[in-house]
Amino acid sequence: MRANDLKKITQNTKIYLDMDGVLADFFSEYSKVAGVKNYKDIPPANVDPVLNKLVGTDFFAKLKKFATADTLVALAIKYTGSYSICSSPLRNDYANSAKWKKVWLKKNLNPQPASVEITPNKGTFAVNADGSPNILIDDRGVNIVAWRSRGGIGIKYQADEDSLDKVATELAKIFVARYPVEEPIKEGIKSKAALGALMAVLSSSPAYGDSNNAQDTNAMQKALIILRSIENMKDYSREGAEAEAQQEFNNIMRAIQGMPDQSKVYPVIKDIIKQDTI
Ligand SMILES: [Mg+2]
């Protein structure tokens, strides 16, 4: 992520999720077709013949969904209210592979994506008409590089190799930075008191409390991440989504790590959790 990205996000910014390697376990089925344990063991000379075996089949409709897929979808929705799919078709099999990919998406995703783009040229969707960047979460480095070169924001993530925390942290950074200091109220954080109290303990500076006069951007960003995670944690707890609530709790703990005086932060957080609205 480049520092410049942070300023350009608007309400039009969308989150695009790649399908294979991110939501659908392409690798294990692909390895089976190739007759190897790990797809990385396929010799380069065999890649094309193996891919050729998929042409004209319903291979993509039968892929297993990664256990993390639903949480990733929920994470995207948390930030933008919806999510979209941006997936490449199989070469030499565009129409057929697109058809079966759509079958997979319909069957496995709930809620459904706002839009589905099956395209050999993902970069087309990197930027919106207003110039704002979209975000692509994709397991292929070349896709991320192409997306960024067209002005989008790319997060490299492969479901069987990376932790979802990596995506959560990146998105938190992108969306926290989107809101300037005077904006937290619009983001659903209603009380400046909570923000001020948190910033005071996060920066160990007694002068805090006036969030419009923040000098410590780091403390402000940490405070916003923590407040948003507390809000989300409460929501998830109410819905009985314990795993998601736990993940939000982990976000909070991570935000506290490395701050100057962690022991002062805990009671403030405990206080905020007890409040009905933040
Ligand atoms: Mg992929």
pLDDT score at 36: 94
Q: What is the pLDDT of residue 267?
A: 83
Pick from 56, 57, 73, 66: which is nearest to 26 by CA?
A: 66
Task: Determine the average pLDDT of the residues in 83-92.
Answer: 97
Last residue of a domain, one of 144, 178, 212: 178
Residue 26 shares a structural domain with residue 112? yes
Cα of 132 to ligand 1 centre, how many Å? 24
For residue 126, what are the domain limits?
3-178
- Kindly state whether residue 268 falls inside one of the protein's structural domains: yes
pLDDT higher than 80, residue 221: no
Name the residue type at position 207.
Answer: A
State in Å: Cα 5 to ligand 1 middle: 23
β-strand 64-65 against 24-25: which pairing, if any?
Answer: antiparallel
Give me ligand 1 centre to Cα 25, in Å: 9
In-domain check, residue 183 = no
> 48 and 166, same structural domain?
yes
Q: How far is ligand 1, taken at its centre, from the CA of residue 113, in Å? A: 17
Distance 147 CA to ligand 1 centre (A): 13
Q: How far is the CA of 277 from the centre of ligand 1 (A)?
A: 40
* Proportion of the chain above pLDDT 70, given as a percent: 84
Q: Residue 52 sits in a domain of what CATH number?
A: 3.40.50.1000
Say how many Å lie between the first and final Cα of the chain, rounded: 30
Ligand 1 center–CA 18 separation, angstroms? 6
Taking residues 76-82, report their average pLDDT.
90
As a whole number, mean pLDDT of residues 232-244 equals 85
pTM: 0.66
Same domain for 169 and 201: no
Query: Minimum mean pLDDT among 2-16, 48-62, 88-102, 181-195: which range?
Result: 181-195
Cα-to-centroid distance, 102 and ligand 1 (Å)? 15
Cα of 97 from ligand 1 centre, angstroms: 14
86/150 same-domain check: yes
| pLDDT at 166 (0 to 100) | 92
Average pLDDT over residues 5-18: 82
How many structural domains comprise the chain?
A: 2
Asked whether residue 186 is assigned to any structural domain, the reply reads no
Distance in Å, CA 68 to ligand 1 centroid: 15
CA 213 – ligand 1 centroid, Å: 44
pLDDT at 185: 42
Mean pLDDT of the region 238-248: 85
> Ligand 1: distance of its center to the CA of 24 in Å?
9
Going from the Cα of 110 to the center of ligand 1, the distance in angstroms, rounded, reads: 20
150 and 25, same domain (yes or no): yes
The pLDDT of residue 266: 84
27 lies in a domain?
Answer: yes
Read off the pLDDT of residues 108-121 as tens digits, 9 standing for 90 and up. 999 999 999 999 99
User: Is residue 73 in some structural domain?
Assistant: yes
Q: Are residues 39 and 160 in the same domain?
A: yes
pLDDT tens per residue, range 18-77 = 999 999 999 999 999 999 999 989 999 999 999 999 999 999 999 999 999 999 999 999
Q: Say how many Å lie between the CA of residue 93 and the centre of ligand 1.
A: 16
Per-residue pLDDT, 191? 62
Per-residue pLDDT at 179: 47
Pair of tokens at residue 42: 């396929």
Output the average pLDDT for the chain. 85
* Among candidate residues 237, 247, 69, the one with its CA nearest the CA of residue 157: 69
Q: Do 162 and 233 belong together in one domain? A: no
Residue type, 267: P
Looking at per-residue pLDDT, the higher value among 84 and 266 belongs to 84
Task: Dump pLDDT digits (tens) for 167-220.
Answer: 998 888 888 755 444 444 445 555 667 777 787 777 755 444 444 434 456 777
10 Å CB burial of residue 149 (0-12, 13-18, 19+) is exposed
Dist. CA 87 → ligand 1 center (Å): 7
The CA 17 to ligand 1 mean position distance, Å, reads 9
Secondary structure tally for the chain: helices H, strands E: 11, 7
Q: Are residues 161 and 201 in the same domain?
A: no
183 C-alpha to ligand 1 centroid (Å): 35
